[in-house]
Structure 1
Amino acid sequence: MDVPASVSAAVQAAYSYCETVTGAQARNFAYGIRLLPADKRQAMSALYAFSRRVDDIGDGPLGDAEKRERLEGTREVLDRVRRGAVSEDDTDPVAVALADAAARFPIPLEGLDELIDGVLMDVRGETYETWDDLRVYCRCVAGAIGRLSLGVFGTQPGVPGVERAAEYADTLGLALQLTNILRDVREDAANGRVYLPADDLAKFGCSAGFHTATPPPGADFTGLVHFEVRRARALFAEGYRLLPMLDRRSGACVAAMAGIYRRLLDRIAADPEAVLRGRVSLPGHEKAYVAIRGLSGIDTRHISRQSLRGRA
């Protein structure tokens, strides 16, 4: 594995731990992350490992009070990183790797605070009346990840509109999260969670929820899914404007990650009720194909042309 020469053995061990977590648990993101050079790949793995820890607390079997306590514990780790209070011999490898990544790249660590805030919204069981309400949640748990990642990727100087790069990264995160929400509607319902806006559910007669393999009687579930797919595609089109602002390998990483989710969205659109029957996913060979296209620049150029023309 190519590693930066200036990384000590202790820090490299911490990064290796984070990369192991990423490879084992990041079903889609790992395909993009592996396209990056070593220093950026390691930094992204540190961000993922910390984010995974936060998500696992929110999704785990603990009671709500203990979840809140554990989440505040992750915020304390983040504060230690922010203060430069994490040494190489710290017993928490994620903290060690994140501290090194934050020293190497201009990572907006407040984005991880937003992630914690978003997971706390899950713990409280919040629901969302409108898309504007849901958008706030999506910005916390996904848009923030886009902005954090941009701190690692950096931008190409002199590119027109580059001052909006963080906005586009945020929007692309929203597109990915809305795709996740559509994919997981039945799984989330089984866990007592509803993310889709109540206004949208009522509009399509789906307020009864998604607890079975078929839509509720009288519901226009296909209409609901297609409505949300159009919203997600518009977010993808806007977020893809980020790609020309990145260097080749960072652009390939984003094109691969977003391309996998975009194909997943297309699969959901083609058979909306599939999300009620089971987890919709792409086979590994198709994910690898998307990653190769991203690295070759094929998807990056194609997506950039589409977004500039205002199409998804």
Structure 2
Amino acid sequence: MTGALDAAGITDPRLREAYSRCRRLNAQHGRTYYLATRLLTKAQRPAVHALYGFARFADDIVDTAPPGSDPAPRLEALSAELFAGLDRGRSDDPVLAAVVDTASRYGIRRDLFAAFLDSMRMDLTVTGYPDREALETYVHGSAEVIGLQMLPVLGTVGDPDEAAPYAAALGKAFQLTNFLRDIAEDLDRGRVYLPADELAAFGVDRDLLLWCRRHGRTDTRVRAALAAQHATTRRIYAYAREGIGRLHPVSRPCIATALVLYSEILDRIEAAGFAVFTHRARVGRGRRAQLAVSGLTRAMWARRGRRAAGLTAAATERWA
């Protein structure tokens, strides 16, 4: 981490510790995501760790609160400290210090953080979504904005606004993959992140999902419903893939690798016959290593090649 912090020009000891803490959160909780970040230049990695660390920290406030406790005050305190830090240009919080610094360095919009925290608040009270429109309101804040936050760090060729829809779509695809993989875990928390009306078209409701969870079986109706959700997520990956060429060349291997790793979770889910109530689909270490080596080779060639046209001089220097 020291080399990455040096490359990013982060010299303040307080900030270095904050960025290091975010990196540890990323390494501990986001193995697939963390592996992909290793394909970025050293100068880019601290910012990615900061954004992931903040998202993980907020999510943990909601999901790991002790039984009977109310996480809302902690979430509101986090929100207040974040926006106060954004206003001041600095924060003394051991995690937010890195986030505020990253937002300042890369000009990340304040409203993206606000939308994320709105979705975290939804998790405190909302346990299901009646239709796709309602779910997408949640997904925008919980996932699409993460892709948009990342975009200034990754860099683009041409107008960033043209790359934004693809970055948002990739965040959505990752989140929808998680929803399929983690159905059992989410049910245990009292939540269903699948559109109720789309499930109902196959004769599926929450009670049937709970029956599958209790018995460790995937009912045929549930299997058909999950296959439809699977197909929808596949289409979003296909769209997101089209945007990789709009990224700075040094960032493309990272995002391409992350896309393949996450989309292969869908492969594992399908191959297991949608047995998501007893088995958490994952990509094995061997396959992750294989993709990492391939991605690293491409990343090294991209760094040696010419800088892409259309980038600002400041951005080009940042990733040199």
> TM-score w.r.t. structure 2 length?
0.84
Unpaired runs of at least 5, structure 1: 299-312
Deviation at 1:121, TM superposition (A): 1.1
Q: For the residues of structure 2 that align with 1:270 and 1:6, how far apart are their CA atoms?
A: 45
What amino acid sits opposite 1:36 in the alignment? L
Secondary structure, counterpart of 1:263 in structure 2 = helix
Match of 1:95 in 2: 96
What amino acid sits opposite 1:215 in the alignment? T
Match of 1:232 in 2: 233
Secondary structure, counterpart of 2:34 in structure 1 = helix
Q: For the residues of structure 1 that align with 2:173 and 2:139, how far apart are their CA atoms?
A: 9
Deviations 1:205-240 (A, max 9, x none): 221224231134xx4222112211110011011111
The size of the alignment, in residue pairs, is 291
> TM-score w.r.t. structure 1 length?
0.86
Q: Kindly, what percent of the aligned residue pairs are identical?
A: 32
The answer to whether residue 65 in structure 2 is matched with residue 61 in structure 1 is yes
The answer to whether residue 79 in structure 2 is matched with residue 81 in structure 1 is no
Secondary structure, counterpart of 2:243 in structure 1 = helix
**1:50-199 equivalence runs, <5 A:** 50-62=54-66, 66-86=70-90, 90=92, 92-157=93-158, 163-199=161-197
Contact 1:84 1:99 in 2 (8 A): no
What amino acid sits opposite 1:179 in the alignment? T
**Are the structure 2 counterparts of residues 141 and 6 from structure 1 closer, same or farther at C-alpha, using a change threshold of 3 Å?**
closer
**Are the structure 2 counterparts of residues 277 and 8 from structure 1 closer, same or farther at C-alpha, using a change threshold of 3 Å?**
same
Contact 1:251 1:294 in 2 (8 A): no
Match of 2:14 in 1: 10
The answer to whether residue 284 in structure 2 is matched with residue 286 in structure 1 is no
Deviations 1:170-221 (A, max 9, x none): 11111111111010111211221111111121112221224231134xx422
The answer to whether residue 38 in structure 2 is matched with residue 34 in structure 1 is yes
Secondary structure, counterpart of 1:28 in structure 2 = helix
Deviation at 1:97, TM superposition (A): 1.1
Structure 1 window deviating more from structure 2 (139-148 vs 65-74): it is: 65-74
Unpaired runs of at least 5, structure 2: 300-320
Match of 1:306 in 2: none
Identify the match of residue 25 of structure 2 among 21, 24, 29: 21
Match of 2:310 in 1: none
CA RMSD, 1 decimal: 2.1
**Are the structure 2 counterparts of residues 109 and 252 from structure 1 closer, same or farther at C-alpha, using a change threshold of 3 Å?**
farther
What amino acid sits opposite 2:50 in the alignment? A
**Are the structure 2 counterparts of residues 64 and 28 from structure 1 closer, same or farther at C-alpha, using a change threshold of 3 Å?**
farther
Deviation at 1:6, TM superposition (A): 5.2
Match of 2:253 in 1: 252
Contact 2:180 2:226 in 1 (8 A): yes
What amino acid sits opposite 2:181 in the alignment? R
What amino acid sits opposite 1:34 in the alignment? R
Match of 1:215 in 2: 218
